[in-house]
Amino acid sequence: MYASLPGSYDYLISNPPFHAGLKTFYAATETFIEEAPAHLNADGQLIIVANSFLRYPPLIEESLGNCDVTAKNNKFSIYTAQK
């Protein structure tokens, strides 16, 4: 997923896809989150906008050790994690 992105970054920001047709599909987002630490500078941040019902916080916490819900409504959440 990061193959064409050389170097590391202060921010990785995404509104990742979560479905393929009618099925919920997490593989792309799981890869994005799992590989994020290797592509973030020290103190870099991962920011994800996603449907609130999706279970991204545990994936983010596993990868970066923390996950804050920066904003949330009945449809969407913004998750932030710092390296």
What order do you get walking across the sheet with 9-14 strand by strand?
9-14, 40-51, 76-82, 68-72
- pTM across the whole model: 0.86
Q: How many CA atoms lie within 13 A of 33 on its CB side?
A: 28
Q: Does domain 9-82 have CATH number 3.40.50.150?
A: yes
pLDDT in tens, 17-63: 776 555 666 788 999 999 999 999 999 999 999 999 888 999 999 99
Domain definitions of the chain by residue range: 9-82
> pLDDT band at residue 16, thresholds of 50, 70 and 90?
confident
